[in-house]
Amino acid sequence: MIRADTERYHLTAPVPWRLVGADISGVSNIVPVFIEGLTPDTTYVFTADDATVSFKTLPCAGLIDAADYGVSETEPDNASAFAVAIAAVPKGGTLRVPKGQFSSRPIFLKSDMTFWLPAGATIAAVADRTDWPILPEHDDTDRVIGTWEGLPAASFASPVTAIGCNNLAITGRGRLDGGGDRGDWWAWPKETRQGARRPRTLFLAHCTDTLLSGITVCNSPSWTVHPFRCEGLTAAALRIENPADSPNTDGFDPESCINIQMRGLHISVGDDCIAVKAGKRGTGDDTRINHVAPTRHLTIANCLMEDGHGAVVMGSEMSGDITDVEIARCEFKGTDRGLRIKTRRGRGGQVARISIHDVVMDGVGTALAVNAFYFCDADGKSDAVQSRNPAPVDDTTPLITDITVDQIHLRGVRHAAGAFLGLPEAPLRGLRLSKVTVDYDADADDGETLMACHLPRARHAGLLHRYAQIETDAALTAMLEDLMDVS
């Protein structure tokens, strides 16, 4: 990373860099710099500006070429060949995918290996889901491995799947194509086929000490990169690309994860760019709760989010608690909402200690959105969920507390600088806003600020709030406005 402590995703001016020991150099316009093909167990020195960083690559126990085990561009399905090649990788070794495009059904990785997808290599999921493996709700040790929108559910395995892996790296400048634009995946976004939900493109469940770096992940059937119940994951210099009209194709969805670093990501998708989750309680007759677990200690830095519904989102699946999240030095461009926190009655759990600072939002609809009346699920628009009368407080009441917003630059805002709607029985508490600058899109039409019932549409609004305790600096006080119902 170049100037990662002072700049966002784009550098203010191009910066020449050099890798001493490999005779590699270049000029970068962005903070993340990804270099592949280095020699294992070797010391290098990276220089940029006046900064110098020395590092040593990890040793490699053996390099396996997937082509030597039958992986071929002419094969209609390389899943079996990949399985043989992966089995041949020694502990601490690397599997290299050759250059070319390789069709495959799901590939299952293992612990203590590097999966290297170099520049010029593409793994493309086959379009036909016949004989596609399905992950059950639970494995034989009762771990949840099939999941859908916060609940255990049978789901099709992902084109690249890792379950219970330790010390796994997935890296390279290659592409992982989930095939969502082929087959029929996008035709049934909220339904099941063959008793299963749509797959993600890269699914990591119950993994520890994982590195994702460099690769481009695209055309996802549903959520794109989904770490579930993982601990100690670093994602750096990834590109995640889905068409803007692709249904529910979130970019990066850490769910019930601990100690996650997301740095230098560029995401443009058909739904939320980064969506932080922590499982959800069942509703109605579904009383399941044992599957939920917390998400905590996340860092999102030097990232670029474009064209999604929300840039960085917490919830709405947050029953296990989402806490201690830092969002720093990022750029949000053209998303419907910038920072978005969403929940509803019945979720329980808390969203707490969220910090966002030094972020530019450009062309965003509602820049800062907190919504405790989010109308998700079949009963989302019912009186029980949407009534503004106080409901009893119990363990199903969601709490939102301690949100810090500082040094935020809003440009071309369409609907509102902020919209904050807590519950009357559990108001939003500890929202602190400072050093927020705003200008508006003169050509904007009015629109929805939050996905909740009974709210007015808005154009060029300031900081709309109801059932929320807000602390602002003097410059922002004049922007506070009541968020009143229209019915």
Q: By C-alpha distance, which of 203, 260, 219, 202 is closest to 236?
A: 260
Catalytic residue IDs: 271, 309
DSSP per-residue letters across 419-482: EEE--SSS-EEEEEEEEEEEEE-TTPPPB-SSS-TTPPPBSSEEEEEESEEEEE-HHHHTTEEE
Q: Determine the residue type at 365.
A: G
Burial of 445 (0-12, 13-18, 19+ CB in 10 A): exposed
208 — phi, psi (to 5°)? -130, 145
Residues paired with 350 in a beta bridge: 399
Cis peptide before 103 (omega within 30 of 0): no
Taking only the tens of pLDDT, the chain with its 487 residues reads: 999 999 999 999 999 999 999 989 999 999 999 999 999 999 999 999 888 999 999 999 999 999 999 999 999 999 999 999 999 999 999 999 999 999 999 999 999 999 999 999 999 999 999 999 999 999 999 999 999 999 999 999 999 999 999 999 999 999 999 999 998 999 999 999 999 999 999 999 999 999 999 999 999 999 999 999 999 999 999 999 999 999 999 999 999 999 999 999 999 999 999 999 999 998 777 888 889 999 999 999 999 999 989 999 999 999 999 999 999 999 999 999 999 999 999 999 999 999 999 999 999 999 999 999 999 888 899 999 999 999 999 999 999 999 999 999 999 999 999 999 999 999 999 999 999 999 999 999 999 999 999 999 999 999 999 999 999 998 899 899 999 888 6
Q: Determine the residue type at 407.
A: Q
CATH number of 63-482: 2.160.20.10
Domain boundaries, the chain: 10-56, 63-482
Where helices occur in 113-240 by DSSP H, the ranges are: none
Residue 13 Cα to chain centre, angstroms: 28
Burial of 394 (0-12, 13-18, 19+ CB in 10 A): exposed
Beta-strand relationship, 155-156 and 274-276 = unpaired
Instruction: Please name the residue that has the structure tokens 């549903």.
Output: 222
Instruction: Answer for the pair 27, 379: CB distance below 8 angstroms, yes or no.
Output: no
